[in-house]
Amino acid sequence: MPPAAAEPLTPERILETTEEVLRRFGPAKATVVDVARALGVSHGSVYRHFPSKAALREAVTERWLTKSVVVLEEIASAQGGTAPSKLESWLEALFEAKRRKAGADPELFATYTVLLAENSGVVDQHLSELIDQLARIIADGVAAGSLAAPDVPAAARAVFDATGRFHDPQYAADWLSPTIVTEFEAVTALVIRGLRA
């Protein structure tokens, strides 16, 4: 049943509905007309907020990626605690967020994997934000003397790359393994040991 016409059409409402339409039809079949129909408006109304299907899909992708960045930012900018423990918490939160998304709604996760491939600019920005968060944690550790990294940005990138199996969607099938948590813990411990001062 379409929502009440009195409810204002906002970009956020359009994005939420687009997510539902993508879940229902998949990225190959979902159209702006489907989104408009689900909202109970004309497709022209959707285009007033998003000028093209590509812009709408890019905004949905960015919204999805931003959700995980917020939680990770809280860890990266938290006061107190040691850098090694913050780094461990950050890596664990990233891994858990990805596993939860893949496990709780595999159809939508598969859809977003397709959208990520389409929106490389959005993905590049997202990855830059994540690596920047890691760099801030490592820099704090270097300043406190608990971590050693002569080149903090390079160290942050190396940590991100070294743990890729636990957050890159291409490895989502691995996340179902009964030993994945043990493997994650081993890699994380090794990475943090390698950075200790």
Residue reference for tokens 């890019």: 58
CA angle 182, 183, 189 (to 5 degrees): 90
- Rounded to two decimals, the pTM is 0.82
Summarised one tens digit per residue, pLDDT across range 3-58 is 445 578 999 999 999 989 988 888 888 899 999 999 999 999 999 999 988 889 88
**Distance of alpha carbon 137 from alpha carbon 147, whole angstroms:** 10
Rg (CA), the chain: 20
Q: What was the pLDDT predicted at 1?
A: 44
**Distance of alpha carbon 155 from alpha carbon 100, whole angstroms:** 27
Summarised one tens digit per residue, pLDDT across range 79-128 is 989 999 999 999 999 999 989 888 777 777 777 777 777 767 888 888 99
- Phi and psi based region of residue 40 (left: phi greater than 0; alpha: psi -120 to 50; beta: remaining): left
Summarised one tens digit per residue, pLDDT across range 60-91 is 888 887 887 888 999 999 998 999 999 999 99
Contact (CB, 8 A) for 51 and 163? no
